[in-house]
Chains A and B, each alone.
Chain A
Amino acid sequence: MRAIFRQVFFQFITFATNSIQMTTKNRRAFLKFATAGLLAFFVYIWNKLTLQHIKTSENKTSTLPLNKNKEVQFFDQYIVVNSEKGTTVFSSYCSHLGCKINKVENKKLVCPCHGSEYKLDGTVIKGPAYKDLKKVNYTTTADGKNIIVNG
C-alpha cells in the first residue's frame, strides 16, 4: 500500500513541478493572480476593520443646550435653528463639500469655503451646493433645556 502511495505521490510531484516548469508564463500569471488575491484580501480586511471601528467609536448621541431665544446657534457638528414653527437641528456640514457652516448673514446660513447659502429652513438658495442642509433627528429632554441628537 505504502509503495503505491509513494509512487502516486512522486508521480504527482513530478507532474506538478513539470507543469509549473513547463512555461514560466503560467507561473507568472499564477503569482500575479495570487498577489492580486492577497491584495484584495487585505483591502477587504481593511474595509471591514475600518467600518467596524467607525461603528464602535461613533459617539452616538450628543447633548446640546436648547436656547429657544436664539434664532440660530452653531455647535461643532450641528446648527440649531429656532423659528415660529419650532426648533430644527441641521448638520453643520455644507452639503457641497462638508465645510463647517458657522455664520448667519442677512438671515442666511453661509458657507465660508465656497459661498453656498441656505435659508434658515435649510433649503439651499445659492450654489455650488444643490442639496439642502441635512436635518437631524433629535429629542428634547423632559426639562426642555437640552437637545439630544442621535448621530
Chain B
Amino acid sequence: MGNKKDKTTFGTLAVAMFWLVILSGVLLAVPFNVESPYQSVSTIAVTNPWGAFIRNFHYWSSQFFLIFSLVHLYDHFHKKDKIGLKAGMAFRLSIGVLIIFLAMITGFLLKGDADSEQARQILHTLAERVPLIGESLAFSLLGHPESYQLIYVHHIATFTVFIAVIIIEHSRKKYWPPLFDFVISVIGVLAFSYFFSAPLHDNLNPAVKGPWYFVGFQEILHWLSQPEWSLLLFLALLILIFLVNSLSGKTMFFSKRSLLLFTAFYFVLTVIGLFFRGERWQWKYPWQNGYNYEVLNNFKAPRVLISPEFELETAMASPLIQGRKEACLACHTETHGLVDSHSPEAIGCVSCHGGNPFATAKKQAHQNMILIPGNLATAWQSCGTTQCHPEIVERVPTGLMATLSGMISVDRFVFNEQDSPDILTNVHSLGNSAADEHLRNLCVRCHLGNPKTEYGPINESSRGGGCLACHLNYSHEAEAALAMAGDTIINAHPSISLAISNNHCFGCHSRSGRISTSFEGWHETTLLAEEMPQEKNYRLIEGERVFVKKQADVHHQLGMECIDCHHSYEVMGDGNLYAHQEDQADVQCSDCHFLGKARTIRAENLDNESAIIAALRLKNSSDKQFLLTEKRKHALVNTFIENDTAFLQTKNSGIKMALSPPAEFCSRNNAHSKLACSSCHSSWVPTCIGCHNEYDPHEPSYNMVANKEQTGGWVEFFGEYQAKLPSLGMRTDGDKTEIIPVAPGMILTIDKSTYTNDTDKSTIFHRLYAPVAPHTTTKEGRDCKSCHNSSLALGYGEGKLEYKITDGKGKWTFSPLYQRDENDGLPADAWIDFLQTRTGKVATRSNVSPLNVEQQKSMLTVGACLTCHDDNSAVMKVSLTNFEAQLQQRTAKCIIPDWN
C-alpha cells in the first residue's frame, strides 16, 4: 500500500480539482451578485477581466472535477474484480454522484442566462413530478421563481459540504491531493481558463441548450411525452452504481456492463445534442443554413483579456442593455443617428449586428458579426428576434416583392414553359430553363431577398436589401462619415425608421411597369445619355436612362408619396402568397374616395402593427377613427374622420387634406358602373412594342440570383417606348366583370433556339396585353371620345378609326398606323383585329381579355353618337341614364352604325 499513497489516479486528480473549485468559488463570490445573476456575470465578463478569468477557472475546475470523478468511477468498473464497499458507504457514494450533478447544474443555473432559465424550469418540473414530496422538493431545491437565493445556498453550501464529507469518507481521510497532482491540475486549469471561456448566452440566439453533460438527457427528454419517467432512469443509474460498489459476482458484473452500455449510448446522445440540434431542438446538419448560428454559437465564448482593448472606466459607464452588459459600447461610445427605439442605449449593438457582446477585443467581438443587418437571409437573427419584429420578418418572404411570383410565372408563360401565368412561384426555385435563365439575366434582381452588400444610402440603382430597402436612411453626417471611413470608428449611424420615401421604392419600381417614374411624371425614352437635351424637361436616371417630363399623378402633385396609399400589409406582405401585384394590392381608390358612410375602425381596435405606426406617425392617435380598406379590412393609419369629414395626412410631410367623394358622374352607377376608376382617370401609361429576345452565348451578362458576372445571356432588343392613354380590357372574376386599363405587355418574339439549340420550335411570338396600374391619376376623367372613338382604347392599336355615313348607312372603318405583323397578321401595336373577338393566349393574366365584338359594337354605337353630339350635350348626358330609351327616340338625322 505504501507506494500507492502518492500515485496519481483520476481519484486524486478529482480531489485536486475539488479544492480548486472551492478556492475559485470563494473568489468568484466577491463580484457575483445573486440578486441579478445575468447582469452581474455579463458585467464581470465585460468590466472585470480578473473576475472573468476566475469565472473561467471555476468553470473549468468544476468540469474537470466532474469528468475525473466519473472516470474514477469507471476506472473501477472496467476491472472484473469486485469493489466490495460496505452497503452504507456504497449508498452514500451513489447519492454523492447525484449530488455532484446537482452541484454542477446549480452552478449552471447561477449564470441566469436564457439557457439557465429554461434549465431551471425543466429541473423544477422534473422535481415537482416526484411522487408525494414533489412540490416541496421542487421549491426546496430551487426556491421562489424570481429568486436565486436557495439555488445559491445549495450550490455553495449544501451540495459542497456533502461532497466534501463524501470525499473525506471515501478517500479514507486522504483529502489533500498529492502535491504533484495539485500542481498539474492548477497548470491545466489555468491554461484552459486562459484559452477557453465559460459559456454565457447572449439571450438573443433562439437556440437553448443545457450544460454539455445534460444535452444527452435533453435529447432523451425530447422523446418522452411524460418526462417524469426519466426520473426512473436516474434511480436506475444510482442503483446500478450502488450494486457495482457493494456487491460481487454476476449481479455486479451485469451492473458494470449495463453502466458501460449506458455510457456509450449516452455519449452518442451527447454528440447529437451538442452538434446536431439547433433552435427548438430541431435536427440540424452542418451544411444547413444557420448551423453556425444555432449550433456552433454554443461553443463561441471569447477569450479573456487581462488588458481589454478599451478603458474599463468606459465599459463601466456604458448602459445596461436588456439586462446585460455589452462590451461593444465600451468602444462605440458616441454612436448616434438611430431613432429612439433602435438607439444603442435601448437595444445595444448585438441585437442587430450580432457578434459577441462579451468579448473585450475587437477581433473577437466582431466575429460572426452581421455588418449589414436587415437582409432577408439574416433578418431572423436581427430584426426578427423574439423581442423585436418576428411577425413581420416571417411575413415579408411571403410577399410578392420577395417571391416575384408574377414576374416569374408570366415569363415562363411567355416562354411557353407554363400553361398559366398565374401559378405561384418563387425566385428561390429558379431552374435552368430558357425562361429561368432569361429571368436570371434580365429580371429578378429586384427581389427583396437580394442582399445589400455595400454600405451607403438606398438610391435609384439599389435593388433588394431586405428591410433596409425601405427603412434605411443616411443623414448627411452619416454619409460624410462613411466617405471618410478608414480605421476610425464611425459614430454617425444611418437610421432605420419609418421615414420611407419615394426614393426607396424608385430603384425597382422605375422599371417594367415604371410606376415610380410615371407617378412623378417621367416617361422613359429610347434616347442615349449623350443624346439627352439639356433642359429641365429631361432627366437622367442611373446615368443611362433618359426620361422626359409628362403629366404627373394628381396625388404626387398634392404632395403624397407611395406610402401614403400603400400600407404595411400590402408592402411587407400579409402572410398570404399572391400570384400578381393586383392580388396583393389592398388599397383601392374607393377606400378614400367613397360615397356615404365611411368604413372605419377605432384606434383601440387597431391591430398592433397599425397601432404602433399610427402612434409614431400621428401626434395624437389614441382617440381617432381611421378608414378601413374594403378589400382586406386593413386600417389606413394616415386617414381619419374629424367632424364627419375624412382627412388624409401625408405620412412624411404631414400635409393634411380632405378626401373628396367621387364625382356624381362616376357614382351614378349606370352606363359606367363596370369601369375601374383608373380606366378613366389615367392620363398616360408607358408602352413598348416590338421587342425581341435572343440568347447570345458570348455576351457578357449577369446572374441576378447569384450576383455574378457570366458569359452568355439573354439579350433584349427593344422597340419603341411611347406614353399613351391606356387601352381597355376586361377582368373576369367569377361573376364580376370589370373594365380595366391595359397596355401592350408582351408583343415580342423570342428566339428560343439560341438557348436550347432546338431548331424545331425556334421562334416564339406573343401578343399579350397586361393589366396596368398607370399611377398617372388625373382629377378629371378622360373624355368620352378618348374611349368610344379611339382605336387605341378599343384595342385595335393606333390608326384611323372613322365613322362614315353613305346612303343613310353608317359604317365604322379602321386603317392601322402600323404594318401588320408577319406572325399573326395584326398591326404591330394591336391587341385585337377590328371588330373581331380574340381568345386564347391574349393577356399576361388568365382572367384578362380584350373586348369582344359585342362590347366593341356597343362602344362604337355610342362613339357614332359622339361624332355629332358633344360630350357635355344634354343628349349624351341623358343617354348615360338610359341609353336604349334614348336610342328609340332618335330622329331620322341620327344614323346608328350598320354592322353588316
- On A, residues with C-beta under 8 Å from B are 43, 46-47, 50-51, 53-54, 57, 67-71, 74, 77, 93, 96-100, 102-106, 110-115, 127-130
Contacts and interface: CB of A to CB of B under 8 A. Distances in A.
Interface in B587-616: 604-608, 610-611
A130 B610 CA distance: 36
Contacts of B604: 68-69
Given A97-B121, A97-B227, A98-B121, A113 B126 contact: no
A99 B121 contact: yes
Contact of A128 (B117, B224, B606): B224
19 contacts: A46-B140, A47-B133, A50-B135, A50-B140, A51-B135, A53-B139, A69-B608, A71-B608, A96-B221, A96-B225, A97-B221, A97-B227, A98-B124, A102-B386, A104-B391, A105-B390, A111-B280, A113-B280, A129-B225
Contacts of B208: 99, 112-113
A115 B222 CA distance: 8
A57 B150 CA distance: 14
A54 B142 CA distance: 12
Given A112-B206, A130-B225, A100 B118 contact: yes
B279 interface: yes
B208 to A, nearest CB: 5
Interface string B102-144: 0000000000000001100110111010000101100110001
B479 interface: no
B394 A50 contact: no
B210 to A, nearest CB: 9
A115 B281 contact: yes
B282 interface: yes
B390 A69 contact: no
B611 A51 contact: no
Given A51-B136, A54-B135, A127 B225 contact: yes
A71 B394 CA distance: 15
A146 to B, nearest CB: 14
Nearest to B279: A112
A98 B605 contact: no
B607 A69 contact: yes
B118 A128 contact: no
A103 B281 contact: no
B56 interface: no
Contacts of A103: 206, 386, 390
Given A97-B121, A128-B223, A128-B227, A113 B218 contact: yes
B121 A50 contact: no
Given A69-B611, A100-B118, A113-B122, A50 B139 contact: yes
Nearest to A105: B394
A104 B225 CA distance: 21
Q: Which of A47, A99, A113, A115 has the most CB of B within 10 A?
A: A113
Contacts of A98: 121-122, 124-125, 128
Contacts of A99: 118, 121-122, 208
Contact of B222 (A46, A67, A105, A114): A114
Interface string B275-307: 000011110000000000000000000000000
Contacts of B282: 115
Contact of A69 (B139, B225, B606): B606
A75 B509 CA distance: 42
Contacts of A97: 121-122, 125-126, 221, 227
A44 B227 CA distance: 27
Given A71-B607, A112-B208, A130-B225, 13 more contacts: A50-B136, A69-B605, A69-B607, A70-B608, A99-B118, A105-B394, A111-B280, A113-B218, A113-B280, A114-B221, A114-B280, A115-B281, A128-B222
Interface of B: 117-118, 121-122, 124-126, 128, 133, 135-136, 139-140, 144-145, 206-208, 218, 221-227, 279-282, 386, 390-391, 394, 604-608, 610-611
B144 A110 contact: no
A100 B117 CA distance: 8
Contact of A43 (B121, B128, B133, B606): B133
A147 B604 CA distance: 16
Contacts of A51: 135-136
A83 to B, nearest CB: 12
A25 B856 CA distance: 117
Contacts of A130: 225-226
Contacts of A67: 608
B136 A46 contact: yes
A117 to B, nearest CB: 8
Contacts, number: 100
Nearest to B136: A50
Contacts of B224: 128
Contacts of A77: 145
Contacts of B390: 103-105
Given A96-B227, A97-B125, A112 B118 contact: yes
> B136, B144, B145: which has the most chain A beta carbons within 10 Å?
B136
B115 to A, nearest CB: 10
A106 B280 CA distance: 14
A59 to B, nearest CB: 8
Nearest to A48: B136
A107 B133 CA distance: 38
Contacts of B136: 46-47, 50-51, 54
Contacts of B121: 93, 97-100, 113
A31 to B, nearest CB: 14
B280 A112 contact: yes
Contacts of A96: 221, 225, 227
A78 to B, nearest CB: 13
B135 A128 contact: no
Contacts of B207: 112
A106 B604 CA distance: 25
A6 B208 CA distance: 76
Nearest to B118: A99
Nearest to A57: B144
Given A50-B140, A97-B125, A98-B121, A114 B608 contact: no
A140 to B, nearest CB: 14
Nearest to A73: B608
Contacts of A68: 604-605
A74 B607 CA distance: 16
A103 B282 CA distance: 15
Nearest to A114: B222
A119 B272 CA distance: 28
Contacts of B610: 69
A85 B80 CA distance: 67
A93 to B, nearest CB: 7
Contacts of B128: 98
Contacts of A129: 225
Nearest to A107: B575
Q: Which 10 A-B pairs have the closest CB atoms?
A: A98-B125, A114-B222, A50-B136, A70-B608, A115-B280, A98-B121, A69-B608, A130-B225, A115-B281, A97-B122
A102 B607 CA distance: 20
A10 to B, nearest CB: 38
B22 to A, nearest CB: 27
Contacts of A111: 280
Contacts of B140: 46, 50
A76 to B, nearest CB: 8
A96 B145 CA distance: 18
A39 to B, nearest CB: 13
A61 B659 CA distance: 49
A93 B604 CA distance: 29
Contacts of A70: 607-608
Contacts of B226: 130
A47 B137 CA distance: 8
